[in-house]
Amino acid sequence: MASSHTSSTSGSALPPLTKGPHSRRLGLVALVATLGGLLFGYDTGVINGALLPMTAELGLTAFTEGVVTSSLLFGAAVGAMTIGRLSDGWGRRKTILLLACMFFVGAMLCVFAPFFEFLVLGRIVLGLAVGGASTVVPVFLAELAPYEIRGSLSGRNEVMIVIGQLAAFVVNAILGATLGHLDGVWRFMLAVAALPAIALFVGMLRMPESPRWLVSKGRNDEALAVLSTIRSPERARAELDEVLALVDEEKEEKTLGWRAIFSNTWLVRILLIGTALAVFQQLTGINSIMYYGQVVLTESGFEEQAALFANIAPGVIGVIGGLIALWMMEKINRRTTIITGYTLTTIFHFLIGIASFAIPADSSIRPYVILVLIVCFVGSMQTFLNVATWVLLSEIFPLHMRALGMGITVFFMWIANALLSLFFPSLIDAIGITGSFFGFAAVNAIAIVVFIFFLPETRGRTLEAVEEGVTTGSIFTISKRQQVLHKARR
């Protein structure tokens, strides 16, 4: 799977990683930062079980249900664009502290919402925080991580997202079973999100700033001090020298805004690839299961309460798949992982559509067959696509456009997510599970073709080497050459 690189490409000239207090410190920093991912997962997943009791209390219609669900996602699109850029000037650490405050305030607005419009306001605030976290936390982790374990370290954020979603499903099921007879049970479900928001704020007060961001601001001594707490002394010095050398080369390109990006063919290409990664991930339909899983399962034949508990199964397989994905990140090339993932999701989408069409609606086995296939789809998605997608998005953009590039691609990700979430209930009503999942299968087949031809490989390279490859176009040439060599070996 792995391809060999020269020292200038792979970063092998750097002193090797060693174990010690610095590696434990790096693990702690990653754990605290990924509480943002946990909040991301919980706040997006909690609507799955909260929507039906919320609808009963507030008198929501099918359309306003879609508005409540998608308002967070449209807010996330704005947050991805604006808060990602804010982190360039303000710093990754301070921005994550701001996000913790926004998570807390948004949760409280939802918990105490007296009517529909106030609830939507709270969901928008949460969305801004979720969108910000989806751009800033992966970048923060990628900029802290040694290139040898960057994939697994950055991928922890996606694992925390699915853990947050699973936590939401479990909390929903427990509260639904114990307090479901009470009005406002959905408020308790939403209130739980305040706890990790507090933990994120307190934890980040003691965490360091990104050393690569510090270098970009000329604060080299501070960057070395941070690196020295999460690397061995000789490795810290060597990494700083490598980053400084790249910054010196980029001094003439300091102001990389929209105009500068669109004047460089290779930067446009990597931006389009990043956008395709982000949008196709949403068009797998994964979040139709994460947000409307209870609705899909009741449509499949489960009773409402049974669907609430059955919904935990995709959440469990999502966490297991995420953990497997972390293990694979440093062992299997990113391209291989992504293409395999889209192949599997296409197959399971097709099988879900067939099962929904072929098994009679009154058959007792129908809901269980569809549940198993949904679990397989979610498992494939979380094992091969979610972690790899976020890792690639955090790696492929040069430092001088990283936050902007992440902001643009994740903006389109959230727009695709929001539109799909807004119209998915109507889609189910119009063409049912069968038509919906056949449609997802067709879109994923297109994704396979796109990534076979255009997706570059980043595994085994430092961020600086990836940046050089992107800005010169060599990373795309290498990818094509590797495809030819792979075919020749076969």
pLDDT-derived band at 257 (thresholds 50, 70, 90) equals low
Q: What is the mean pLDDT of residues 124-146?
A: 89
3-state SS class at 232: coil
- pLDDT at site 2: 36
pLDDT band at 484 (very low <50, low <70, confident <90, very high): very low
- Burial class for 4, CB neighbours closer than 10 Å (0-12, 13-18, 19+): exposed
Q: Quick one: how far is CA 423 from the chain centroid?
A: 22
pLDDT in tens, 261-317: 777 788 889 999 999 999 999 999 887 787 777 778 887 888 877 877 888 888 899
Looking at residue 209, what is its pLDDT? Answer: 94
Among the listed residues 152, 139, 148, 143, the one whose alpha carbon sits nearest the alpha carbon of residue 243:
143
Cα 44 from Cα 29, distance rounded (Å): 24
* pLDDT band at residue 251 under the 50/70/90 scheme: low
Pick the CATH number of 20-207+260-489 from 1.10.3720.10, 3.40.640.10, 3.40.50.300, 1.20.1250.20: 1.20.1250.20
Instruction: Check residue 362 and give its pLDDT.
Output: 86
Q: What is the pLDDT of residue 490?
A: 47
CB atoms within 10 A of CB 484: 9
**Whether the Cβ atoms of residue 157 and residue 36 lie closer than 8 Å to each other:** yes
pLDDT of residue 352: 92
Q: How confident is the model at residue 208 (pLDDT cuts 50, 70, 90)?
A: very high
What would the mean pLDDT of 177-188 be, rounded to a whole number?
86
What is the number of other CB atoms lying within 10 angstroms of the CB of residue 170? 16
Q: What pLDDT sits at residue 353?
A: 92
Mean pLDDT of 67-91: 87
Calculate what percentage of the chain has a pLDDT beyond 90.
Answer: 39
Q: Which of 129, 134, 132 is nearest to 154 (CA)?
A: 134
The pLDDT of residue 8: 39
pLDDT tens for residues 24-73? 999 999 999 999 999 988 998 898 888 888 888 888 887 888 888 889 98
Q: What is the DSSP string of 345-379?
A: HHHHHHHHHHHHHHS-TT-TTHHHHHHHHHHHHHH
pLDDT category of residue 241 using cuts at 50, 70 and 90: confident
Confidence grade of residue 256 (pLDDT, cut at 50, 70, 90): low
Token pair, residue 198, equals 């507090």
Residue 249 above 70 pLDDT? no
In angstroms, rounded to a whole number, what is the distance separating the alpha carbons of residues 121 and 106?
8
Question: What percent of the chain clears pLDDT 70, i.e. is strictly above it?
Answer: 92
Q: CB neighbours of 80 closer than 8 A, spacing ≥ 6?
A: 131, 132, 134, 135, 406, 407, 410, 411, 413, 414
Residue 1, pLDDT > 50, answer no
pLDDT, position 250:
58
CA trace torsion 210, 215, 219, 220 (10° rounding):
110
Nearest to 394 by CA among 153, 86, 75: 153
Among 36, 26, 39, 83, which residue's Cα sits nearest to residue 208? 26
d(CA 415, CA 72): 11
Higher confidence at residue 93 or residue 331? 93
- Residue 200: closest CA among 30, 42, 33, 43: 33
Tell me, what's the pLDDT at 3? 37
Query: What gap in Å lies between CA 293 and CA 300, rounded to an integer?
Result: 10
For residue 12, the SS3 value is coil
Cα separation, 338 vs 384, in Å, equals 6
Average pLDDT over the chain, rounded to whole?
85
Tens digit of each residue's pLDDT (9 = 90 or more) over 406-451: 778 888 988 898 888 888 877 877 888 889 899 999 999 999 999 9
Q: CA-based angle 291:294:295, to the nearest 5?
A: 85
The yes-or-no verdict on residue 486 having pLDDT over 70 is: no
Provide mean pLDDT across the span 369-374: 92
Output the CA–CA distances (angstroms, integers) from residue 116 to 54, 69, 102, in the order listed: 10, 12, 20
For residue 128, is pLDDT > 90? yes
What's the CA gap between 104 and 98, in Å, rounded?
10
* N- to C-terminal Cα separation, the chain: 13
pTM equals: 0.74
- State how far the alpha carbon of 260 is from the alpha carbons of 205, 255, 404, 463, in Å: 35, 8, 12, 20
**Residues in CB range of 201: below 8 A, 6 or more apart:** 97, 100, 101, 104
CA Rg, the chain, in Å?
22
Tokens of 276: 């395709």
Residue 252, pLDDT above cutoff 80: no
Q: What is the pLDDT of residue 11?
A: 46
What's the confidence (pLDDT) of residue 411?
A: 85
20 contacts: CB under 8 Å, gap ≥ 6: 232
How many CA atoms lie within 13 Å of 307's alpha carbon, on the beta-carbon side? 22
Q: Is the pLDDT higher at 1 or at 71?
A: 71
Q: What pLDDT does 20 receive?
A: 83
Using one digit for the tens of pLDDT, what is the confidence trace for 223-234? Answer: 999 999 988 888
With beta carbons less than 8 A apart as the criterion, state whether 139 and 92 touch: yes
Q: pLDDT band at 255, cuts 50/70/90?
A: very low
| pLDDT interval class at 91 (50, 70, 90) | very high
CB contact set of 219 (below 8 Å; sequence gap of 6+): none
pLDDT (0 to 100) of residue 157: 85
**Poorest-pLDDT segment among 118-132, 381-395, 455-469:** 455-469
DSSP reduced 3-state for 149: helix
**pLDDT of 405:** 84
- Tokens encoding 191: 């209130």
In the chain, domain spans: 20-207+260-489
